[in-house]
Structure formats: structure tokens, C-alpha cells
């Protein structure tokens, strides 16, 4: 299987990036193809008004590397893991911009929108977080957004790895051992049990059996 791991922190050696790298290592150890990218390398602009800035042929006119990463790396991937620090109880601006910019390609005004919409569906989605604060709901807004994105795209939200720290490398000293958890998360990413029951979901009375 193939996974794209996105580190959206502006700190290339920050805590969320370290955790994301551990997830990538776990994926590779399990025999999967893991591609690791930094948002700052290809994402240089926010979403604009497509009705005003789209090119005559329907292509997005924002000149950065997002198009290539989204169409050539994200869409073909079977799974996507987003890594972000908690900023003001939400994700980094870079991660929010990544999701916002996808609109340029699934909007009806893009010539290949039908193919994009099809390819966006059915992925396995993971989330990697770092924060200084340990209050349980510090991550609530980010988790909710990824959960709803997963539902919107008919994808499976596999789970969350959360490490605590402030200075660079603090997660290495987190007694909860999030680095080990991140590596294991990568190893189990394509096999881990997931569920999102509806009232009429046919299911067993036991989770494990």
C-alpha cells in the first residue's frame, strides 16, 4: 500500500515532524510505500476566488507545487497522514491551506473534477499532533475537522497519535512514549481496526472475536 505523510509545521525538526517521521518509518517497516513531504516545500499560497483567478482552460493559477503534490501524490495514495502542532487550539495554517486548496480541483469548474472526486474517496486517514498543553480537549477541533473530512470523502479515520512538548525534540522525552506509538501507528496503519457505526449498521455484539 502507499501512504502520503504530510508534515505541516514550519519547523522541519519540530515535535510533530519527528512524530510524522516515526509514522513513516513504521509504514516502511510494515512493507508499505511511504512518501514524506513538508508543506513548506510546495504550498506557498492560500485559496483564492476560483471564479476570478482560474485560468481560461480551468487550471488553477496559483503557481506553487501544490498541484503536483495533490494530483500526483495525494490522489494515488491509499492513505494520508497529516501532522500538525496545535496552534490556538487548531491546526497549522499550512494544513488548513492544504485542505482548502483541494477545492481548486474538485470544484465543477476544474475540467477533471469528476476524476478527482473519485480519487479522493476511500482512503485511510491518520492524524499526528503535538502540543505543550495536555488538557484532553486541546486537540478536539483538529480531530473533529479530520473526522468530518474523512466522512465527507467516504474515508476511514484510522486514529490519532499525540505527543506533548514545546521545545524542539521534547516529544522524545514524553514519558507516554509517543515516538513508539507513532512508529506502531505506521506499522498498523493499513490493518488497524476502525469503526464509525450508524444506527442501522449490521455488526457483531463483540469488537474482538
Coil/strand/helix, residue 28: helix
User: Which pTM value belongs to this model?
Assistant: 0.93
Residue 88 belongs to domain spanning? 2-188
Written as nine digits, the cell of 164 is 506533548
Close Cβ partners of 140 (under 8 Å, ≥ 6 residues apart): 89
Query: Phi, psi at residue 90, to the nearest 5°?
Result: -140, -170
Close Cβ partners of 76 (under 8 Å, ≥ 6 residues apart): 2, 119
In a domain, 193, yes or no: no
On the 0-12 / 13-18 / 19+ scale of CB atoms within 10 A, 167 is exposed
In a domain, 207, yes or no: no
pLDDT at 58: 86
Number of domains in the chain: 1
In a domain, 195, yes or no: no
From first to last of the 209 residues of the chain, give the pLDDT tens digit. Answer: 999 999 999 888 899 999 999 999 999 999 999 999 999 999 898 988 888 888 998 888 888 899 999 999 999 999 999 999 999 999 999 999 999 999 999 999 999 999 999 999 999 999 999 999 999 899 999 999 999 999 999 999 999 999 999 988 899 999 999 999 999 999 999 999 999 888 898 888 888 87
Coil/strand/helix, residue 127: strand
pLDDT at 143: 97
pLDDT at 12: 87
In a domain, 131, yes or no: yes
Q: In this structure, what DSSP letter does residue 102 have?
A: T
pLDDT at 47: 86
In a domain, 205, yes or no: no
CATH code for the domain in which residue 68 is found: 3.40.50.360
In a domain, 148, yes or no: yes
Written as nine digits, the cell of 105 is 480541483
In a domain, 52, yes or no: yes
Amino acid at each position: 500500500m502507499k501512504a502520503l505523510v504530510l508534515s505541516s509545521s514550519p519547523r522541519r525538526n519540530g515535535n510533530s515532524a519527528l512524530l510524522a517521521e516515526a509514522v513513516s518509518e513504521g509504514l516502511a517497516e510494515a512493507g508499505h510505500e511511504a512518501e514524506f513531504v513538508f508543506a513548506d516545500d510546495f504550498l506557498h499560497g492560500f485559496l483564492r476566488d476560483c471564479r476570478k483567478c482560474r485560468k481560461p482552460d480551468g487550471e488553477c493559477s496559483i503557481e506553487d507545487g501544490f498541484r503536483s503534490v495533490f494530483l500526483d501524490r495525494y490522489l494515488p495514495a491509499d492513505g494520508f497522514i497529516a501532522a500538525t502542532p496545535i496552534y490556538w487550539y487548531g491546526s497549522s495554517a499550512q494544513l488548513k491551506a492544504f485542505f482548502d486548496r483541494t477545492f481548486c480541483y474538485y470544484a465543477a469548474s476544474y475540467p477533471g473534477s469528476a476524476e478527482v472526486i473519485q480519487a479522493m474517496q476511500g482512503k485511510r486517514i491518520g492524524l499526528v499532533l503535538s502540543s505543550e498543553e495536555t488538557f484532553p480537549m486541546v486537540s478536539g477541533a483538529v480531530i473533529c475537522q479530520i473526522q468530518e473530512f474523512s466522512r465527507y470523502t467516504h474515508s476511514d479515520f484510522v486514529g490519532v497519535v499525540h505527543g506533548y512538548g514545546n521545545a524542539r525534540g521534547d516529544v522524545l522525552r514524553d514519558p507516554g512514549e509517543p515516538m513508539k506509538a507513532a512508529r506502531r501507528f505506521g506499522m498498523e496503519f493499513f490493518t488497524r481496526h476502525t469503526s464509525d457505526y450508524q444506527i442501522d449498521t449490521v455488526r457483531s455484539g463483540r469488537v474482538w472475536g
